[in-house]
């Protein structure tokens, strides 16, 4: 069996690569949230970075933006079905990390990586 370099799983990895996409998707796993709620839940993310991350996730079809015509207008974000399904590998990565991340970090330190 031959494995081709352009296997689709890499599309998924690129979507969750980087510091914030996975954390924002995970924060939305508890239901729709306003940006201000997300900032409160996610330690260390700036408004600018949160806005960019949400826009990228929206462009990729992983989150949806809902605008409510209230005074002042209210905006909420929620996971699309594709975004919700991405929580499965994200949780699997979390489980793997809980078991192995420390050993990997130690191996990297030992190798001076």
Sites of contact with its own copies (CB under 8 A): 1-5, 7-17, 19-20, 22-23, 26-27, 30, 40-45, 59-62, 82, 85-86, 88-90, 92-101, 103-105, 107-108, 111, 113
Q: Which is nearer to its own copies, 1 or 69 (CB)?
A: 1
Instruction: Report CA torsion sign: 6, 10, 15, 20.
Output: negative
Q: Smallest distance, Å, CB 71 to its own copies?
A: 30
Residue whose pair of structure tokens reads 């949806």 in the numeric block: 64
Q: Which is nearer to its own copies, 69 or 103 (CB)?
A: 103
Instruction: Report CA torsion sign: 108, 111, 112, 113.
Output: negative
């Amino acid at each position: 069996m031959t494995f081709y370099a352009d296997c689709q799983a890499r599309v998924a990895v690129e979507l969750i690569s980087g510091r914030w996409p996975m954390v924002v998707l995970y924060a939305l796993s508890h239901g729709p949230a306003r940006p201000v709620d997300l900032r409160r839940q996610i330690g260390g993310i700036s408004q600018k970075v949160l806005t960019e991350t949400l826009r990228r996730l929206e462009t990729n079809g992983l989150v949806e933006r809902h605008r409510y015509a209230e005074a002042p207008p209210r905006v909420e974000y929620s996971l699309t079905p594709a975004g919700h399904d991405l929580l499965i590998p994200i949780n699997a990565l979390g489980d793997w990390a809980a078991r192995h991340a420390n050993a990997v970090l130690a191996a990297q330190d030992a190798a001076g990586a």
